[in-house]
Chains A and B, each alone.
Chain A
Amino acid sequence: MAKTLLSVEGLAVEFDTRDGVARVIDDLSISLAEGETLGIVGESGCGKSMTALSIMGLVPIPPGRIAAGRIFLDDEDLLQASEARMREVRGNEISMIFQEPMTSLNPVYSIGNQIAETARLHEGLSRADAFQRALEMLVAVGIPAADKRIHEFPHQMSGGMRQRVMIAMALACQPRVLIADEPTTALDVTVQAQIFDLLNDLKDRTGTAIIMITHDMGAIAEMAQRVVVMYAGRVVEQADVDQILTDPRHPYTQGLIRCVPHLTQNPTKERPPLLEIPGVVPPLTQLGSGCPFAPRCQYADAQCRAEMPPTKAIDDGHTVACWLTEREAAA
């Protein structure tokens, strides 16, 4: 197995809200190897994006707070790093692209300007060199007539083009890690596929490790090698992508997979009515002592509601946190 590039250990993030303290990430541990694509999957509000922001050092403090844990890039704990050091890391060693290409670019500056800015900042390039770099990047992400479009403004481009620009910006300094937070959610299906192809292609060329955050199991299937399933700020299941798709253990994972019809192995028979995880992610301020998924879980019993299930390794690289698995193992 390749060398571990980035690892998160026992991370906990809390937010002060009007209704009390919300622990949006609780005891989270994941790791990313060089050249790997790690998928993080879960519904909105489960803490995926917050994990990404924690790695970037962009958790808004206050009201947020890193309550516990360590985040290593190589051997350096980023949580201990100075803000100045973090600025060096961001965009240079770890880059990030976001869900909303429509709004993630500054409307008042040309795209060339925005891409060049990164290069000038981290590599101290001159204005002309930085623009040259921006142009190269635009060509690399497949923007047609890049030499003209480099002077355009975000509102003049389509969503897919903007996301390409975002990717160009993120990769301008050849980072070691790219965090892609729902990069295709806001895009048309055909464009989605193009973006995935582009990301895969770039990864092959540059060796950048990718953390792919999504709620879409389909995207995971296409992109990731390993998958982390999150619910209410916790990792509920972690495994290789094949294992997850073929043998999901946690009821939540199973629910997520069922939501995507073509992923279920026997589409005609087992498929329950579409989109079936009843209820919503509960407010994080109101988590009790039990499994946070219990209120929505069809298998939940008294123990589930009372006690938090431990994380259990059931296979090589496959862990799951569920009393059901616990009981099966015990049985």
Chain B
Amino acid sequence: MQFLTVVIRRSLYAFLLLLAVIVFNYTLLFLVPGDIAETIAGESGGASAELMAEIRRSYGLDQPFYVQLFGYVGRVLQGDLGSSYYFNVPVLDLILGRLGPTLLLVVTSLLLAIFTGTLFGVIASQRPNGIFSHFITILALIGFSAPVFWTAFLLIILFVSMLQILPLSGLAEPLTESGTWQWYLDVAYHLILPVVSLSSIYLAQYSRLARASMMDILGSDYIRTARAKGLGQRVIIYKHALRNAVIPVITIAGLQFSHIFSGAVVIETVFSWPGLGTLAFESILRGDTPTIMGILFFSAFVVIIFNLLTDLAYRIVDPRIRLSNTA
């Protein structure tokens, strides 16, 4: 019962947050100079003044701000994000078409970073002054300090240009029939470089974090208790320590999700990955306002959903949250 209340309250709250995002986006982008008339005119190589006025009228851009705003909010609440100025298709369709690749990239990177990072951290924590541990520390510093597009470039120079073993860009070769196993293989193959580049930052961070929290935990009283019980090292690490060490990693991953989403914009641009990031970047360059608003809204939506999921994961792992702090 209590859980249900929490879910309802959370959802209501998320709804209000999204509403705020919509209003904010619309207000912000209303301030952008230029509108669809210029976009169409620019795309088609010029337009007459009459035509431009006609376009504005047909998109309702001659209405006062608040009328447009309420209209927009109302439409969004009905699931209509408007039509792209550039592609002339519903923004929602455009976004849903791009959401898959972005989620694939982001979630794969995130899971890779969390799992590998935790694993690295655990291994490193076994020998806090060992070579691997130093390697992790250095890797973390490099991962944090190197601009993600630069890392991607270095990987491209190495794997695409010099070794020629990985594909450069795209989700898959466009001729591969989507849905077949060859296609999935092709996607996986194309996924390697973007995922490695994107997760490099977080992988290193998480391994450092996991190492620190493992060392913290291995020095903690309850691990001493576990040892005093006569438990073996393996049980101690993987049963007693790991579960606690994962908690801060999940916390940070949850907080960072919107950042990873940001990183995806850059990575998608570098690898021509057909996701929301490239769509966002190109829409900004094209001034495709409805699409930009749609993407901002949608990414906020995804982040909120993801935060809820993190919360859930958190509740599974940590009984303290599960039982007491239900707010």
Chain A interface residues (CB < 8 Å from chain B): 56, 58, 86-92, 95-96, 98, 100, 103-110, 117-118, 121-122, 153, 155-156, 166, 169-170
- Residue of B226, B228, B230, B318 near A107 (CB, 8 A) is B318
Minimum Cβ distance to chain B for residue A331 (Å): 47
Interface residues of B in 269-327 (CB under 8 A from A): 317-320, 323-324
On whether the beta carbons of A107 and B244 are closer than 8 Å, the reply is yes
On whether the beta carbons of B320 and A107 are closer than 8 Å, the reply is yes
B222-263 to A contact mask, C-beta < 8 Å, 1/0? 101111111110000000100110000000000000000000
Query: Is B221 engaged at the interface, CB distance under 8 Å to the other chain?
Result: yes
On whether the beta carbons of B225 and A104 are closer than 8 Å, the reply is yes
On whether the beta carbons of A121 and B229 are closer than 8 Å, the reply is yes
Q: State in angstroms the CA–CA spacing of A91 and B236 once bound together.
A: 14
| Nearest A-chain residue to B240, judged by Cβ | A106
Known: A89-B230, A106-B222. 17 other contacts (CB 8 A): A56-B228, A87-B232, A90-B227, A90-B230, A91-B229, A96-B228, A98-B221, A98-B228, A104-B221, A106-B226, A107-B318, A108-B317, A118-B229, A121-B229, A121-B231, A153-B323, A169-B229
- Residue of B224, B231, B240 near A87 (CB, 8 A) is B231
Interface residues of B in 185-243 (CB under 8 A from A): 220-222, 224-232, 240, 243
Q: State in angstroms the CA–CA spacing of A153 and B325 once bound together.
A: 14
| Chain B residues, Cβ within 8 Å of A104 | 221-222, 224-225
| Chain A residues, Cβ within 8 Å of B224 | 58, 98, 104
| Chain B residues, Cβ within 8 Å of A91 | 228-231
Minimum Cβ distance to chain A for residue B237 (Å): 13
Please indicate which of the listed interface residues A91, A122, A156 has the most CB atoms of chain B within 10 Å of its own CB: A91
Minimum Cβ distance to chain B for residue A114 (Å): 8
| Chain B residues, Cβ within 8 Å of A117 | 229, 231
Which DSSP category, helix, strand, loop or mixed, fits chain A's interface?
A: mixed
Q: State in angstroms the CA–CA spacing of A19 and B226 once bound together.
A: 31
Minimum Cβ distance to chain A for residue B168 (Å): 45
- Residue of A89, A103, A153, A170 near B222 (CB, 8 A) is A103
Interface range, B side: 20 to 34
Minimum Cβ distance to chain A for residue B226 (Å): 7
| Nearest B-chain residue to A88, judged by Cβ | B230
| Chain B residues, Cβ within 8 Å of A96 | 228
Minimum Cβ distance to chain B for residue A268 (Å): 41
| Chain A residues, Cβ within 8 Å of B231 | 87, 91, 117, 121
Q: State in angstroms the CA–CA spacing of A145 and B230 once bound together.
A: 28
Q: State in angstroms the CA–CA spacing of A199 and B224 once bound together.
A: 21
On whether the beta carbons of B243 and A87 are closer than 8 Å, the reply is no
On whether the beta carbons of A108 and B243 are closer than 8 Å, the reply is yes
Minimum Cβ distance to chain A for residue B53 (Å): 66
Known A107-B319, A108-B243, A108-B317; contact A166-B225, beta-carbon cutoff 8 A: yes
Q: State in angstroms the CA–CA spacing of A104 and B229 once bound together.
A: 12
**List of 7 A-B pairs having minimum Cβ-Cβ separation, nearest first:** A90-B230, A91-B230, A91-B229, A104-B221, A103-B221, A96-B228, A106-B222
Q: State in angstroms the CA–CA spacing of A56 and B225 once bound together.
A: 11
Q: State in angstroms the CA–CA spacing of A224 and B179 once bound together.
A: 76
Between A and B, 24 residue pairs with Cβ closer than 8 Å are: A56-B227, A58-B224, A90-B230, A91-B229, A91-B230, A91-B231, A95-B228, A95-B229, A98-B221, A98-B225, A100-B221, A103-B221, A104-B224, A104-B225, A105-B222, A107-B320, A108-B318, A108-B319, A121-B231, A122-B230, A153-B319, A153-B323, A155-B319, A155-B323
